[in-house]
Structure 1
Amino acid sequence: MYRFAKAAVNVTGQAVRQVRHGSTAPQTFHSKYGTTVLLGGAVFCSSVWGYVLTQTGITWNLSPVGKVMPKEWRGAEE
């Protein structure tokens, strides 16, 4: 248990140091590529859903109104 506690404290200490000093990645990444990545993801998502909706032939069963007819009741047994 002592080794586990010592390792846990060491890991949290490293995390605190990393947060305090910041990441090594440049801070301008989002300003340079953020809009491009967002638009690329939107185009990809739209194209995949467009393909799924138009080309796969899935029957979606949207609404049964007007398509399902109730069965006639059985007559009273005589």
Structure 2
Amino acid sequence: MYRFAKAAVNISGQAMRQVRHGSNLPQNFHSKYGAGVLVSGAIFCTAVWGYVLTSTGITWNLSPVGKLQPKPWREE
């Protein structure tokens, strides 16, 4: 248990040093472009769904109430 605790403290100490000194490192892709990719993806998704909902002529049939009628009874 002592070895595990010592290793855990060592790992947490290394993590603290990396966090403390991480601001001097070059930025990674996510910190540079993450927000832009997220916003452009949201705009693209909204544009595609806007086109699908308005221009494709799809009949959505959201509620079947009043649209479904029973078939007439046939006696043979």
TM-score interval for Structure 1 and Structure 2 normalised by the shorter chain: 0.5 to 0.7
Q: Tell me the distance in 1 between the aligned counterparts of 2:31 and 2:61.
A: 44
Unaligned segments of structure 2, at least 5 residues: 1-25
Matched residues, number: 51
TM-score where L is the length of structure 2: 0.55
Q: Report SS of the residue matched to 1:73.
A: coil
Q: CA RMSD in A?
A: 1.9
User: Any gaps of 5 or more consecutive residues in structure 1?
Assistant: 1-25
Q: Deviations over 1:2-49 (max 9, x none)?
A: xxxxxxxxxxxxxxxxxxxxxxxx652110110000110010011001
TM-score of the superposition, structure 1-length normalised?
A: 0.54
Q: Which has the higher contact order (CA 8 A, sep 6+)?
A: 2
Give the 4+ runs in structure 1 shifted more than 6 A: none
Question: Whose helix fraction is larger, Structure 1's or Structure 2's?
Answer: 2
